[in-house]
Structure 1
Amino acid sequence: MSRAEELAAKQLEAYNAQNIDEFVAQYSDDIIVMDFPSNEITLEGKDAFRQRYHTLFMNNPNQHAELKARIVKGNVVIDHELVTGRSSGNDVEAIAIYETNDQHITKVWFVK
């Protein structure tokens, strides 16, 4: 397993366990989250990232992301997930693109 795939797997596992510390640990301090294809920045920095996901976990204690497919190319991982168990009762199909370095996920795009 490549380092990029390892980071993607670890963050997904922590997401499903709602382990905010382990989840956030997979991301760089200067993490940038963007919409794809617009590249509009929706979140920047680890503190804002932690806050958003802490709130998400608190509001959706039963959510679970099932990995449907994963593509790995060098330092980029593309995950197709189905998120269920949300408080709204609505399932969410998500496609996330992760760019990594040797230590962390540095950028994330969510396909809109």
Structure 2
Amino acid sequence: MYTPEQLAQKQLDAYNRQDIDEFVSVYADDIVVMDFPSNNITLLGKEEFRTRYHNLFLQNPNQHAELKHRLVKGNIVIDHEYVTGRENGINTEAIAMYEVNHTHIRRVWFVK
């Protein structure tokens, strides 16, 4: 059992190592990824999630997400990240909100 903050950190560390197995292991089988505030679903289920991030890691072997700030309220974690090292040369800021149960991240919203 992990705290919400520990799960968010575990997935961030795996993302930065591009360890697809460890990264995906943090997410629930029925993971839902949505845009915020529209709630449009962009990814649904662990297999689709794995495929998208596997391809992202292959296309961007030098990317790195630096945690700028983290807020935790109950089972919600909000991370503000600065992502560098993408193949297109564009650095970007990202805000991700994670809904966590005691074992996995169940939902993710990316602020658009």
Aligned to 1:78: 78
Following superposition of structure 1 onto structure 2, how do residues 32-71 of structure 1 map, counting pairs within 5 Å? Answer: 32-71=32-71
Q: Distance in 1 between matches of 2:20 and 2:43?
A: 17
Q: Distance in 2 between matches of 1:62 and 1:92?
A: 14
Following TM superposition, by how much is the alpha carbon of 1:92 offset from its aligned partner in structure 2, in angstroms?
1.1
* Structure 2: stretches of 5+ with no match in the other structure: none
Aligned to 1:11: 11
Q: Distance in 2 between matches of 1:38 and 1:86?
A: 26
Partner SS state of residue 109, structure 2: strand
* Structure 1: stretches of 5+ with no match in the other structure: none
Q: Distance in 1 between matches of 2:57 and 2:5?
A: 23
Q: CA RMSD in A?
A: 0.7
Partner SS state of residue 103, structure 1: coil
Map Cα deviations across residues 12-69 of structure 1 (whole Å, 9 max, x no partner): 0000000000000000000000000000000000000000000000000000000000
Q: How many percent of aligned residue pairs carry the same amino acid?
A: 68
Q: Distance in 2 between matches of 1:72 and 1:21?
A: 25
TM-score normalized by the length of structure 1: 0.98
Q: Distance in 2 between matches of 1:92 and 1:57?
A: 16
Partner SS state of residue 29, structure 1: strand
